[in-house]
Every structure is written in structure tokens, then in C-alpha cells.
Amino acid sequence: MSILVNKNSKILVQGFTGTEGTFHATQMIEYGTNVVGGVTPGKGGTSHLDKPVFNTVADCVKTTAADTSIIFVPPAFAADAIMEAAEAGIKLVVCITEGIPVQDMVKVKNYLQGKSTRLVGPNCPGVITAGECKVGIMPGFVFIPGRIGIVSKSGTLTYEAADQVAKAGLGISTAVGIGGDPIIGTTTKEAVELFMNDPETDAIVMIGEIGGGMEAEAARWIKETGNKKPVVGFIAGQTAPPGRRMGHAGAIVGGADDTAAAKMKIMTECGIHVVSSPADIGKKMAEVIKK
């Protein structure tokens, strides 16, 4: 089962017929993901990639019983797409779009309050349950099925961590790329909590970066709840200068606690096995699993 998605998830693609939607939906289908249809306003009633196209998410849900949406919609329209999916009763929304205005995401965050919809992203690689379901843009072949969960702010480091875990003779249950924007849906702590409660995940890789306080929040939660499963952690941006945004919109050191060193210290104090290089993630995970 793992977390968030599995072979039984019914996926719809918003922005289905666009260039990005077409390319990545094709990859998802080839991976074995149960894509049931897509949404492109004005093209309802047609088909694309041998799947039905609908004008609205509500129409798609009514016909296909879709429960998960992945969004490949331009930044100016992405917030509306997220809210449309939530209004239609979609349980999990994965927003790949980057460059969404912060003010738009403030509206989305407020709109989702009290609703049963979980948002992953935006500006993220998505979610993959290895060997079952890919709802994202990650290279599926990297993710070997196993019992290690990954939560990461960085897309490329998600793939690197999965590769390192595989080379260590282990595999992935689910990997969640939460995104690196200032305002996102699912936080590091929330993803870690899902993994801690998942009987098919034995250990967790937690990858963060400079900026914000999500890693410290997750680390303190892990300590307070007794650290039921081993966690290997890495923080990107160890050489980043204060005050300069590095890559992601949220990756900026705004205070003393936002630096990589400060986060690594907090994580270590909370019982997380912190590595200083992503090249050491797999080796460290193999060590802690054997203990």
C-alpha cells in the first residue's frame, strides 16, 4: 500500500493535452499508472492518448471516479486548477507547476482549510510508489520497490537518494517530492508522519534545504514521538551565502536557524542520522537498517 498513491489510484491529468501534460502522462501510463482521463477546457468529448478528455474536473470525476489529480497548468491558472480539483472532491492533488505567484498560493492554502483534499507541491516532481504508480515527472526506472520512504524538497536529490538506496541493496516504498516554494501543501513533517504510520516503510530519507523551518519542525516531531523508525537526513545548500535565493523560491537564508548548519545540528540532536553529502545517503541507510 505505502502512502498517498498505489496501483488502485485513479489518476486524472489537468492540462492533459498540452505539451508537458502529454509527455509526462505518456510516461506515467507506460510506468503502469492508472490514468483514467484528463481535463482540458474546450476539448471535452475528445480523446487523447486513448483516454477521455473532459472540460472540467467535476465531469471527469463523475465519469471515471478519479481520486487523484496531477496538474500541468501554466502558473497563472494553476491555483484555480488546484481549487477546482478540491471542489470536485479529489483526495490528492499533485501540482507540478513552478512559478505560481505566492499570493495565489496563499489563496489556495486558505481555500483548502477544512477540506479533505491533500496538496503535494507546487513546484515539485510529484509522488511515486515504486513499481505501482507514478504521479509525477521523476524517472521511474530509478525507483526500485522496497521499504525505504523518501521525502524531499529537491527533485533531483529525490532521484539521487533513490539511486543511492538502490545501490545499497535497498528499495523505495514511496517517494514524495514536496517542492521548494515558500508556500506548499504537504510539509516535511506531514510526509514523515505518513511514513511513520505506514507498515510497509521501515526507514525514511529526509532531504531538506536552506530556508524555512520545516526540517526543524519534522525533526522535533520525530524526537517527541520516540523516533519509531530510523531517519537519514541531508540538507542541501551548505555553502549558500545568507540572503541569496538558491534554486528554489523558498531556499533563502533569512535567519540563523535557516542555514544548513543550523538545520543539521537540530536534526542530529533529534536523533536523525545526518550525512554531509548526498553520496552517503545509501551507505548510511544500509548502516542504520542493520542496527
Q: Which residues are catalytic?
A: 248
Q: How far is Cα 78 from Cα 70, in angstroms, rounded to an integer?
A: 11
Task: Please state the separation of Cα 143 from the chain's center in Å.
Answer: 14
Sequence-distant (6+) residues with CB within 8 A of 82 are: 71, 93, 95, 108, 112, 119, 122
Q: Which amino acid is at 11?
A: I
Residue 44: name the closest of 64, 29, 26 by CA: 64
Strands 51-54 and 47-48: antiparallel
Q: Which residues contact 265 (CB under 8 A, 6 or more apart)?
A: none
Q: What is the DSSP string of 94-132?
A: EE------HHHHHHHHHHHTTSS-EEE-SSS-EEEETTT
Half-sphere exposure of 175 (CA within 13 A, CB side): 37
